[in-house]
Structure 1
Amino acid sequence: MNQLEQLKQCTVVVADTGNFQQLTQFKPQDATTNPSLILKAVQLPEYRPLLVDMARQWQGKSLEEVTDRLLVRFGCEILSVVPGRVSTEVDARLSFNTQATLARAERLIELYQAAGIHTDRVLIKIAATWEGIEAARLLEMRGIHTNLTLLFSKVQAVACGQAKVCLISPFVGRIYDWYKKQAGAQWDEAAMSGANDPGVRSVRAIYEYYKHFGITTEVMGASFRSTGQIVALAGCDLLTIAPELLAQLSQSQAPVQRALDAQQARSLNLHAEHYDEAGFRYALNADAMATEKLAEGIRAFAADAIKLEQLIEAA
């Protein structure tokens, strides 16, 4: 049994891609997308006609609406391949605007419904800012499920749990990147791998906190740099994995052992935390890595959203 098959026995495997033609190979349960992945996909020859078709079909509509329709089109194609859910992201430029995030999320859901997709099969991805988490709280109350992304700290995770969001995507690789860059020549790759990887440690701490206190929000590790990081989180609720790493897992016969265990987490001696807005902002500000990576991630997704709009305009 290869590593991917072993992993599927204790974790829900999710594909992190906009390239829906790759999905049948790995048979993931769910799939996630983001502006960068969709931008990458529409620049491939096989997806270019889809972009052109959507741009021409909805000519005269606002760029925002055409972009949303393109995202939903990709989501529908993905849902024709995977049995579970797809995550579709709200424009990162709205990350600090609760009401605008709500409006865009509701439009995405309406577009999915118009395409015959049940809301239970869609997760609206929102950056885990205070405003984003508040928008997610309100959306969950309306029966619209959310995936809080660009999550780099336990502070963000605790606030998401308070908001009763459906799922969070704590980023592993980007945390690893930050600590490796900070350490420079002092970085010891062997000593900081596996269970000691700072990104892996962050997700484990969040998972244990949620399971210890009975928080129902699902934890989906994301943003991996290696199969070692993935294997070190075997047992996490879900893991969203890029096709390149799915391929590596499917080609390895090395053993995969459950690394995260909900039962063990319940026996830990942990203290409950709670954040209001001021407390959240202060605690996040105190975490240099999370502050920097959240800001950087929003900027990058916003830049790719603009590039996607430019491709639509030029189509």
Structure 2
Amino acid sequence: MNKLEQLKKMTKVVADTGDFAQIEQYQPVDATTNPSLLLNAAKMSEYAYVIDKALAKSKHLSGRLRVEEAMLDLAVGFGVEILKIIPGRISTEVDARLSFDKEATIEYAQKLVAKYAEYGIDKSRVLIKVASTWEGIKAAEVLEQKGINCNLTLMFNIVQAIACAQAKVFLISPFVGRITDWYMKEQATVNFPDVSEDNGVLSVKEIYKHYKLHGYKTIIMGASFRHIAQVEALAGCDALTIAPSLLQQLQQDNGELIRHLSPVELAKESDYKISEGDFRWMMNESPMATEKLAEGIRKFAIDTVKLEKLIENKLGL
């Protein structure tokens, strides 16, 4: 077996792309999208029909209202097409500009689920992606209680992970590569660290160990990889969302893949609950987590605006 086949036997493999052809090629269980991936896919001529279909659904509206509705339809439209290829779930992201608004996040998530329902797709096949801000986590807690499962993204600190687990969030996406990026910039180096010293890899391992020790049910899905060694170092994690270029490298490598993460003996779940004050203080104490969370939200918001401009141009607005 090649390394991709080996990895699939110990970890749920998720495709980190909006490109249908690449998803079909690597046959993941689930897939994730975000504004940046959707923007790239929307620029590809072969997916123009998805945009056209999304725009047609909102033709009864005009101006800004139509753009807002078309953005929802476009995100769901790509998700619907991807669900035709994969057997599992699609992660669809809430507008990053709502990352600090609990109620607006809940409302946006419910709109996404309703639009999937219009295509006959049950909410059990959808994960709502939300940034791991305090407000995002609290919104996800409410959504989970409503039976809407969530994927908490842009995670850089274990306090975010613990708060998500205590909120009974379905899945978290701790970012590996962006943590690595921060420390490489801080240390003024262009060379990737050995995975045994890679802060991004170590962060996911810390979260994994904590979750398994305390019996948390929330799924850990490592994300944002810069090179193949980072993926291999987390073999055995509950799930990993991997870009097509790295999936290809795994598929072409017939070497042995060693499992590095396995469930450990459970301890009693801690009675200690993360408060908002705890959360904000621990984030404040980590310049890396504070900066990367803010930067991630800004970048997704920028690409969301670009996607809106693309739609406005299509509509001649």
TM superposition score category, shorter chain reference: over 0.9
- The answer for the alignment partner of 2:233 in structure 1 is 232
TM-score when normalising by structure 1: 0.95
Write the distance in 1 (CA, Å) between the matches of 2:255 and 2:308: 43
Shift of 1:224: 0.4
What SS does the aligned partner of 1:254 have?
coil
> Which amino acid in structure 1 is aligned with residue 172 of structure 2?
I
1:112 to 104, 110, 116: 116
The answer as to 2:206 corresponding to 1:200 is: no
What SS does the aligned partner of 1:31 have?
strand
Shift of 1:22: 1.5
Write the distance in 1 (CA, Å) between the matches of 2:245 and 2:19: 12
TM-score when normalising by structure 2: 0.94
- The answer for the alignment partner of 2:4 in structure 1 is 4
Write the distance in 2 (CA, Å) between the matches of 1:125 and 1:213: 24
- The answer for the alignment partner of 1:245 in structure 2 is 246
What SS does the aligned partner of 2:264 have?
helix
The answer as to 2:51 corresponding to 1:51 is: yes
What SS does the aligned partner of 1:196 have?
coil
The answer as to 2:142 corresponding to 1:138 is: yes
What SS does the aligned partner of 1:87 have?
strand
RMSD over aligned Cα atoms: 1.6
Change (3 A) 1:188 1:78: closer
> Which amino acid in structure 1 is aligned with residue 127 of structure 2?
L
Write the distance in 2 (CA, Å) between the matches of 1:217 and 1:272: 17
Write the distance in 2 (CA, Å) between the matches of 1:50 and 1:118: 20
The answer as to 2:132 corresponding to 1:128 is: yes
Which segments of 5 or more consecutive residues in structure 2 lack a partner in the other structure?
none
Write the distance in 1 (CA, Å) between the matches of 2:184 and 2:195: 14
- The answer for the alignment partner of 2:213 in structure 1 is 212
- The answer for the alignment partner of 1:304 in structure 2 is 303
> Which amino acid in structure 2 is aligned with residue 50 of structure 1?
V
Shift of 1:58: 1.5
Q: What whole-Å deviation, never above 9, does each CA across 1:179-217 have from its counterpart, x for those lacking one?
A: 0110014x764xx32232110000000011011000000
Shift of 1:273: 5.2
Write the distance in 2 (CA, Å) between the matches of 1:127 and 1:54: 25
Write the distance in 2 (CA, Å) between the matches of 1:164 and 1:207: 16
Shift of 1:21: 2.0
* 85-94 or 18-27, larger mean C-alpha shift: 18-27
- The answer for the alignment partner of 1:75 in structure 2 is 79
Write the distance in 1 (CA, Å) between the matches of 2:122 and 2:94: 18
- The answer for the alignment partner of 1:27 in structure 2 is 27
Q: Does the CA-based 8 Å contact 1:55-1:313 persist in structure 2?
A: no
Q: Does the CA-based 8 Å contact 1:158-1:273 persist in structure 2?
A: no
